[in-house]
């Protein structure tokens, strides 16, 4: 099946009926891999055109976000505020280009709009704004806050009697923040089994390697000690990610964290494991090289 057909929205004949359709995808792992490469091309192109942005941490989490939006979560592109949608919380808000690319491919807004990234009148700013961009749950930017927000959303779902899942994407460097661990403690205390945290564990942050800035190890043991179910996977392998996310939905009585081991700048040779591209846009020549590599 061509990549253009990876997303499958059941045919409808009226706007009212469109709102009744839940996003579904029959994409195979091979097709998801093709889509992930397409998302990477979007990321490089939009950041390159904008002349600013965060390519490294956007590229490292492509498979994670693609798996969630195209295979795991229940959502309606034509009805972004559907009350029973699964919630996706982008805690590492600087990875906004990744989320925008996936949302566009899902049909939340035109793909052509991606190239307006960071322009003054664009809906696609450097960090997500939930007041203007469809599909965005939280206006993110300051790190360390997404898990706390996700705890609140999870509790609200319980209080409202709704069965939606809550997925929050954290950066490993972001886990330097004390607020992350306060939220982790609260999630376990309230037994929020509708909450799944996914950590983009690429080993780096803006100042360099995590091990030099603030060593997080033993990372898995820390989450387990806070009362979480811990699953570790290769974060660029859909054949590991998808079963892990399916397993996380079945856990009862405690929240789950999926620690996804990734490579910062994945897919672009000169960006991979290069801290310089945490927050630096590629120039015109570098964009051309990257796009050739991503063909």
Three state DSSP letters for the chain: CCHHHCEECCCCCCHHHHCCCCCEECCCHHHHHHHHHHHHHHHHHHHHHHCCCCHHHHHHCHHHHHHHHHHHCCCCCCCCCCCCCCEEEECCHHHHHHHHHHHHHHCCCCHHHHHHCCCCCCCCCCCCCCCCCCCCCCCCCCCCCHHHHHHHHHHHHHHHCCCCCEEEEEECHHHHCHHHHHHHHHHHHCCCCCEEEEEEECCEECCEEHHHHCCCCCHHHHHHHCCCEEEEEECCCHHHHHHHHHHHHHCCCCCEEEEEECCCCCCCCCCCCCHHHHCCCCCHHHHHHHHHHCC
**pLDDT value at 208 more than 70:** yes
**pLDDT value at 9 more than 60:** no
CB 176 within 8 A of CB 217: no
CB 138 within 8 A of CB 87: no
Q: What are phi and psi of 129, to 5 degrees?
A: -125, 110
**pLDDT value at 83 more than 60:** yes
Of 196, 294, 212, 200, the closest CA to residue 254 belongs to 196
Q: With pLDDT > 90 as the criterion, what percentage of the chain qualifies?
A: 88
pLDDT single digits (tens) 123-172: 999 999 999 999 999 999 889 999 999 999 999 999 999 999 999 999 99
Q: What is the mean pLDDT of residues 52-76?
A: 97
Q: pTM higher than 0.95, yes or no? A: no
Q: What top-level class would CATH report for the domain 25-293?
A: alpha beta
pLDDT single digits (tens) 87-134: 999 999 999 999 999 999 999 999 999 999 999 999 999 999 999 999
pLDDT single digits (tens) 14-50: 233 334 489 988 889 999 999 999 999 999 999 999 9
How high is the pLDDT of residue 2?
Answer: 40
Of 225, 169, 222, the closest CA to residue 195 belongs to 169
pLDDT classification of 261: cutoffs 50, 70, 90: very high
How high is the pLDDT of residue 161?
Answer: 96
Q: Where are the domains of the chain?
A: 25-293
Of 110, 105, 98, 48, the closest CA to residue 71 belongs to 105
What mean pLDDT is reported for the chain?
92
How high is the pLDDT of residue 8?
Answer: 38
């Amino acid at each position: 099946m061509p990549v253009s057909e990876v997303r499958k929205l059941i045919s409808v004949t009226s706007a009212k009926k469109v709102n009744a359709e839940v996003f579904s995808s029959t994409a195979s792992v091979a097709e998801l891999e093709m889509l992930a490469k397409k998302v990477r091309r979007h990321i490089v192109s939009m950041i390159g055109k904008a002349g600013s942005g965060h390519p490294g941490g956007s590229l490292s989490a492509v498979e994670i976000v693609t798996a969630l939006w195209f295979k795991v979560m229940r959502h309606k592109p034509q009805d972004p505020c559907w009350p029973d949608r699964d919630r996706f919380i982008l805690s590492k808000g600087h990875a906004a280009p990744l989320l925008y690319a996936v949302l566009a491919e899902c049909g939340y807004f035109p793909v052509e709009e991606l190239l307006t990234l960071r322009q003054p009148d664009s809906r696609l700013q450097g960090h997500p704004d939930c007041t203007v961009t469809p599909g965005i749950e939280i206006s993110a930017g300051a790190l360390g806050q997404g898990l706390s927000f996700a705890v609140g959303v999870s509790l609200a779902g319980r209080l409202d009697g709704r069965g939606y899942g809550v997925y929050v994407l954290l950066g490993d460097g972001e886990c330097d923040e004390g607020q992350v661990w306060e939220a982790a403690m609260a999630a376990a205390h309230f037994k929020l089994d509708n909450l799944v945290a996914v950590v983009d564990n690429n080993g780096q942050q803006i100042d360099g390697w995590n091990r030099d800035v603030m060593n997080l190890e033993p990372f898995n043991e820390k989450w387990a000690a806070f009362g979480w179910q811990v699953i570790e996977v290769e974060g660029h392998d859909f054949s590991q990610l998808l079963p892990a996310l399916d397993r996380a939905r079945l856990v009862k009585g405690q929240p789950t964290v999926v620690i996804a081991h990734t490579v910062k700048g994945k897919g672009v040779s000169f960006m991979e494991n290069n801290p310089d591209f945490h927050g630096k846009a590629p120039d015109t020549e570098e964009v051309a090289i990257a796009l050739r590599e991503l063909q």
